[in-house]
Structure 1
């Protein structure tokens, strides 16, 4: 009996060690590129590709950041990116929560059928709708403007956001709705006073996804923007790459600066993010 117990404990420790080892390996796959970005941003061009690689810069080239931020009009790029992110964030949160409320708390004919049709749109690759979308915005006269990057957010910001919030709304007991109806509340009052306040974690998840997607969006600005004065940060980074060469030290410094807000936002909201993906079932 004691031998079996000892064997079981040994197997449990081995399984636990294997699990932690796998987590360390997977974490390293994500952390190493970020560490490489930071160390490269603090090196001169000749040190970046030294073999074997040097992980600690000697000396630290802090001037790379100043040179990178002054080489291009990053203040203009930052302003354009901030305009897009703020407006997209507001539109996505407002319309996706209202859409999810309609698909989860209000009974109407054909609701589930319409939702199923919308869900099928998630299966379409982005490349399939890229050209039709471009032709549509061009016909409306919105080419080389920020509107094609902002307006879609005011139609739910993507069916995935509505789906995510709907999954959370379905977990909220309907007793709240019935009690509110007894007190004479309307659907709008139920949404604003009950459902929306209770869905803070799920809304933060959607907001984080929306922020990261808008801040890092490269393909959208590349397709719809032509004037340098409208470029975003993601698109502006491409200017460090020429036809035959690239200013890797400045590119790494600028990239580290651009990615910093994403890291700060995620660290600030990670508690709500982890809580949200658990409650919405996003983890699977």
Structure 2
């Protein structure tokens, strides 16, 4: 319920903010949502705006939704090791040390998020700490550091913003053509008919499914890249061992956008996966030239 409440409140806040921004832009440019230019502005504001507001709030939302506790003063040897390891890897990757947090979950997982490379969050599950060796956990941390250093969160947001913009724009343009054709046939040329909004809704659902294929493809590629990054930082033997440990673990408990940022995705095999199958990731590392 907590996650659902946060999701609803966040999306309501995003819609309100973007509606105000859109109203200001329309007033400043003298356009409206019925023109092609106005539709493009609307699509861009909501397509990119929603993605970047979500990214800006990602650290806050991640902490609230998972209950992750940031380690400010290590209380034991494990917490000290986590902080020291992340700091060392961040230095190797030429980024500022991210915040380090632990969240309570039985599954073996970790994620990184944040709007900027030098203001990120790396969080690990209690299940990871309980079921992985230090070498395996070190490789997982290096994987998340590689995501941060590669700027994957921002790049994924940009891609999501682009596809969102096209989905919103095309759905309304095509919906407008269909609506105009229907109204002309009925001799009615005033305003938008109710069918227009139904058509746009259906088209957004259809285009949204197609757009998600693009986003998920990139998401899978960045997992391979982060695996290579981890192997470069700590050695591929450790990363392969970590992936094999993940193979034996339960499905991840992360939900929503955090699922894409976790080190392990759901066990399924289709084009809508955010992560490649673990066996493919292991094979790719084994065939790489990284030592």
TM-score by length of 2: 0.28
Higher share in helix: 1
Larger Rg: 1
Higher share in strand: 2
- Between the two structures, name the one with larger relative contact order (CA 8 Å, sep ≥ 6): 1
TM-score by length of 1: 0.28
